[in-house]
Amino acid sequence: MSSAEDRYRAAISTMDAAAREQDEQRGLRERRVAEAETQAREGLKNELAAAQKYAEHMDELTKRKQSAGGWATEKTLADKGRESLMEFGVADEEADTGRTPYPTPSYGIPAAAAPRPEPTPEPPAPPAPEPAKRGRHARPVEDEDDFSSTSWLV
């Protein structure tokens, strides 16, 4: 009977090992699900913050439009805190780098105010020579469609 008991104990131990493995896999799966949920929750919080910011901005633009009588112009839709957004900030960049700006050159009298010299007339071009007269059926010299030397019976 010892062989039956041994087989019974071996079967019980393999079933216990399978149950332990299933429990470990379930725990790993639940841990991964929890991590994915926290990552998704954080991502949604970030998206929610951005969406709220966008909604506030659109509400502000709508209020400005309504206060302007329903007209959506550049002035009403421009960001109030960003009036200098379209400036390129060259002065700010030069101030930050510690460089001095390039000096403005002075060339004397502006070109628009300077007197212009009178244009000198160019001598007339000599007349072009007349082409030599050719026969009545003569072809032009640059005839690209001259197929007279082509044999069409080939």
Arithmetic mean of pLDDT, 106-124: 72
Q: Is the pLDDT score of 12 beyond 90?
A: yes
pLDDT recorded at residue 87:
56
Distance (Å, rounded) from C-alpha 105 to C-alpha 128?
50
Domain region containing 89: 2-97
Residue 110 within a domain: no
* Any domain includes 44: yes
**Is residue 107 domain-resident?**
no
Say how many domains are in the chain: 1
Check residue 21 and give its pLDDT.
97
Q: Does any domain span residue 75?
A: yes
Residue type, 103: P
Which pLDDT does position 101 carry in this prediction?
64
With 90 as the cut, is the pLDDT of residue 56 above it?
A: yes
pLDDT digits over 57-98, tens only?
Answer: 999 888 888 888 877 777 777 766 655 455 555 555 555 566
Dihedral of CA atoms 35, 37, 38, 41 in degrees, nearest 10, equals 160
Going by pLDDT thresholds of 50, 70 and 90, the confidence category of residue 117 is: confident
How many CA atoms within 13 Å lie on the side-chain side of 44?
6
Assess if residue 144 is contained within a domain.
no
Mean local confidence (pLDDT), 36-48? 95
Helix or strand holding residue 97 (H, E) = helix 90-97
Please check whether residue 145 lies inside any domain of the structure.
Answer: no
- Work out the pLDDT band at 134, boundaries 50, 70, 90: confident
Q: Which H or E run contains 33?
A: helix 2-67
Instruction: Check: pTM over 0.85? Answer yes or no.
Output: no
